[in-house]
């Protein structure tokens, strides 16, 4: 490796341990040259830390990060996002030259180490667009989240793989919104300080529907490079944006929404049965390698997974 770089994910509770371990398994399986580093908050149980240690996964301790008290409130439907502000601490990991930040509800299906060498100005990030279709018509989502305004709506295969949506002055507002499941960045102390100052002082913070995601979209407006959808293949795109989607082109699949695959038994996934099975296939591979050598750790993993 010519530079110090890593994939990084945040883990704050045992309920996402299975997701993080499956992601680690995926990165190894696709032959990535770079390690997975777990950002862990103080509340992460010691038993979880012990499992990660036995798997050879580096833990990077960080304190939790939140806006000032009373500055932001989440809709009840989205309370699971309460911890995600802490993802922003990845920008202070300045001992790394390049980081690819991933959510722990993802699987890496093809090697994507090329993101470590993506040309990127030092104070820019790269990410894929959010999907602004709001197919479930959730009332607390922004009113301009409609298919006509979604950056993915005009995308088609194969050009979507090489020519992601272009943001112009006349683009609908949702074109300026990224999904923070995959973020390519160059950490620096100066950049982290600027981001935290924005978090604590910006009048926009109370308006954010999706904590770290909306903040990154606002802070880096005009300074984020769109990535093709395949680097953050939201599971819903397979249903909503069929002209663009191809299973075989996915680099990283993102299990957005609250129904994580480890909470849904095989056969009960509805529209997402196929993609959920991809996660279960990798979970089984993880079991084959982990259960014989760390039975106690495996018990902890399965205690946070739906019983089959």
Per residue of the chain (308 residues), give pLDDT as tens: 457 999 999 999 999 999 999 999 999 999 999 999 999 999 999 999 999 999 999 999 999 998 876 545 544 444 444 588 999 999 999 999 999 999 999 999 999 999 999 999 989 999 999 999 998 888 888 899 999 999 999 999 999 999 999 999 999 999 999 999 999 999 999 999 999 999 999 999 888 888 899 999 999 999 999 999 999 999 999 999 999 999 999 999 999 998 999 999 999 999 999 999 999 999 999 999 999 999 999 999 999 999 87
CA angle 123, 105, 82 (to 5 degrees): 70
CB 256 within 8 A of CB 236: yes
E-strand spans in 21-164? 36-40, 58-61, 98-102, 106-108, 125-129
Residue 66 has what pLDDT?
Answer: 87
Give Cβ neighbours of residue 154 (< 8 Å, ≥ 6 apart).
165
Residue 2 has what pLDDT?
Answer: 58
Residue 306 has what pLDDT?
Answer: 96
Alpha carbons 167 and 170: distance in angstroms, whole number: 8
**DSSP-derived secondary structure letter, 126:** E
Q: Is 140 helix (H, G, I), strand (E, B) or coil?
A: coil
Burial of 203 (0-12, 13-18, 19+ CB in 10 A): exposed
Rounded alpha-carbon distances, angstroms, from residue 298 to 40, 102, 261, 304: 20, 23, 17, 10
Alpha carbons 215 and 210: distance in angstroms, whole number: 8
At 159-172, the pLDDT tens digits run 999 999 999 999 99
Burial of 265 (0-12, 13-18, 19+ CB in 10 A): middle
Which of 118, 144, 124 lies closest to 133 in space, CA to CA? 144
Residue 206 has what pLDDT?
Answer: 87
Which of 103, 101, 148 lies closest to 126 in space, CA to CA? 101
Residue 277 has what pLDDT?
Answer: 98
Q: Which domains does the chain have, with CATH numbers?
A: 5-129+177-233+255-302 (3.90.550.10)
């Amino acid at each position: 490796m010519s530079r110090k770089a890593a994939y990084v994910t945040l883990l704050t509770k045992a309920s996402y341990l299975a997701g993080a371990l499956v992601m680690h398994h995926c990165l190894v399986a696709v032959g990535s040259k770079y390690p997975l580093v777990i950002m862990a908050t103080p509340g992460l149980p010691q038993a979880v830390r012990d499992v990660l240690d036995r798997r050879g996964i580096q833990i990077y301790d960080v304190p939790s990060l939140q806006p000032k008290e009373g500055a932001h409130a989440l809709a009840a439907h989205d309370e699971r996002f309460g911890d995600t502000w802490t993802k922003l601490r990845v920008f202070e990991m300045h001992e790394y030259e390049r980081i690819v930040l991933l959510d722990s509800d993802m699987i890496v299906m093809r090697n994507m180490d090329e993101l470590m060498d993506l040309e990127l100005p030092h104070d820019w990030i790269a990410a894929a667009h959010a999907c602004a279709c709001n197919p479930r018509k959730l009332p607390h989502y922004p009113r301009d989240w409609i298919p006509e305004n979604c950056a993915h709506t005009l995308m088609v295969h194969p050009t979507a793989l090489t020519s992601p949506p272009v943001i112009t002055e006349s683009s609908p507002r949702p074109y300026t919104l990224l999904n923070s499941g995959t973020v390519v960045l160059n950490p620096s102390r100066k950049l982290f300080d600027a981001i935290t100052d924005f978090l604590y002082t910006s009048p926009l913070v109370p308006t954010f529907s999706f904590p770290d995601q909306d903040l990154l979209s606002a802070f880096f407006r005009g300074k984020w490079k769109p990535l093709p959808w395949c680097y953050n293949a939201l599971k819903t795109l397979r249903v909503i944006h069929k002209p663009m989607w191809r299973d075989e082109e996915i680099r990283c699949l993102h299990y957005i929404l609250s129904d994580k695959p480890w909470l849904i038994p095989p056969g009960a996934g509805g529209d997402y049965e196929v993609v959920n099975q991809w996660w279960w296939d990798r979970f089984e591979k993880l079991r084959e390698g982990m259960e014989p050598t760390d039975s106690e750790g495996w018990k902890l993993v399965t205690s946070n997974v739906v019983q089959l």
